Amino acid sequence: MIEGLAPAKVNLALAVVGRRADGYHELVSVFARLDLADRMTVEVAGNAPDRLTVAGGGYSPSGLDLVLSAAMLLREHAGRPLPSLVFALEKRIPVAAGLGGGSSDAATALELAAAAWDIDLSAGERLDLAARLGSDVPFFAARTAAALVEGRGERIRALPAPTGGAAALLVTSESGLSTAEVFRVFDDGVAPGAGSPAAATTARELAAALEAGLDADAFAGWAPRLRDANDLWPAAVGLLPELAALRATLEERLRRPVLLSGSGPTLVALYPSLLEAQAGGRQLTELRGARITVTVLGNGQHREAR
């Protein structure tokens, strides 16, 4: 049996800077890996079709497709007969939440399948296959703690995580959001002012600061700028109006800026330590209609085998 972790991510800034001829959007975003992670195992199982079992929470059909598609894609890449695989997935990352759970599961499935079949992928091959699976998958396949992500997600510039144990308090509405629907609303112009240069500037300046070295206190100090550095916020609120009220409640109770991760609906408060994030979480014990998670920014390591 081979076992691995599929970590979540947060978007610390997300700018939509254009739309390509193929329909994908051009993005400039800073991703950070979290210690919050799904757990996956894989075993070789003869000649039956590849299959996946899921426990521990909801799972979207698209996420299911991504895990099995990763095995299918790697089998095609190998160009030779390979035995079937049985994946078992324990879900811990909320689904349709802007945390990249399905994409991370796909990246981990790709890696574990390669190990099970004894296929040695170069870094370039791994990233190419990841890009064919989905826009967020290359970040997870790159095995980096953070990154400046551009294009539709295929251009990755590795960045270090803040030093000193920066943490995040995640509040995920029980109402999920479809990334495709959020971009549809964005494209329809329901999001006034979206796509301004400010978010892209903030993303690039944060990337430079991380590259130069940021401790956890200085990193948390970026939150006021990052709060409004997600071009998808108006579109997400257009689809889920209660998201604006939830953010207002969180900012009143936590007394700090609250960000949107990805296309939402997960809201994020940044802290310089896990203890402070846990204290923040205790202020939300009476909050209804949302899942509360406290985690730390990860170090980029996400695989273990036995």
Which stretch of DSSP H or E encloses residue 224? helix 223-226
pLDDT of the residue at 190 = 56
Parallel/antiparallel/unpaired status of strands 51-55 and 85-90: parallel
pLDDT in tens, 220-261: 999 999 999 999 999 999 999 999 999 999 999 999 999 999
- 94: which DSSP letter? P
pLDDT in tens, 32-49: 999 999 999 999 998 888
Residues contacting residue 23 through CB under 8 Å, at least 6 positions apart:
none
> Residue 157 CA to chain centroid, in angstroms?
16
Of 35, 38, 50, 136, which residue is the catalytic one? 136
In the chain, % helix, strand, coil (3-state, to 5) comes to 35, 30, 35
Q: 42 forms bridges with which residues in the sheet?
A: 2, 87
User: 75-79, 99-103, 189-193, 256-260: which range is least confident on average?
Assistant: 189-193
Are 295 and 276 spatial neighbours (Cβ–Cβ below 8 Å)? no
Nearest residue to 126 (alpha-carbon basis) of 113, 26, 63, 149: 113
Alpha-carbon torsion, ordered 246, 165, 222, 107, to 10 deg: -70
In the chain, where are the structural domains located?
A: 2-159, 167-296
pLDDT in tens, 254-299: 999 999 999 999 999 999 999 999 999 999 999 999 999 999 998 6
Determine the Cα–Cα distance for residues 115 and 177; give it in Å rounded to an integer.
34
pTM score of the predicted model? 0.92
Q: Mean pLDDT, the chain, as a whole number?
A: 92
Are 30 and 206 spatial neighbours (Cβ–Cβ below 8 Å)? yes
Q: 33 forms bridges with which residues in the sheet?
A: 9
Is a pLDDT exceeding 80 seen at residue 180?
A: yes
pLDDT of the residue at 3 = 96
Torsion sign, CA atoms 180, 186, 190, 194:
positive
Over residues 50-59, the mean pLDDT reads 80
Is a pLDDT exceeding 70 seen at residue 94?
A: yes
Neighbouring C-beta atoms of residue 144, cutoff 10 Å: 20
Over residues 73-98, the mean pLDDT reads 94
pLDDT of the residue at 302 = 41
Are 41 and 54 spatial neighbours (Cβ–Cβ below 8 Å)? no
pLDDT in tens, 108-161: 999 999 999 999 999 999 999 999 999 999 999 999 999 999 999 999 999 999
pLDDT of the residue at 193 = 46
pLDDT of the residue at 235 = 94
Quickly name the fold that domain 2-159 has: Ribosomal Protein S5; domain 2 (3.30.230)
Neighbouring C-beta atoms of residue 216, cutoff 10 Å: 22
Is a pLDDT exceeding 60 seen at residue 70?
A: yes
Location of structure tokens 């699976």: 133
Quickly list DSSP for 37-68: EEEEEEEE-TTSPPEEEEESS---HHHHHHHH
CATH code of domain 167-296: 3.30.70.890
Determine the Cα–Cα distance for residues 305 and 123; give it in Å rounded to an integer.
19
Location of structure tokens 């370039």: 124
Of 9, 38, 50, 105, which residue is the catalytic one? 9
Nearest residue to 171 (alpha-carbon basis) of 73, 248, 81: 248
Are 259 and 230 spatial neighbours (Cβ–Cβ below 8 Å)? yes
- Name the 3-class secondary structure at 265: coil
Retrieve residue 294's tokens: 């406290």
Residue 91 annotated to the active site: no
- Name the 3-class secondary structure at 33: strand
Determine the Cα–Cα distance for residues 108 and 39; give it in Å rounded to an integer.
9
pLDDT of the residue at 57 = 65
Nearest residue to 100 (alpha-carbon basis) of 179, 41, 162: 179
pLDDT of the residue at 65 = 79
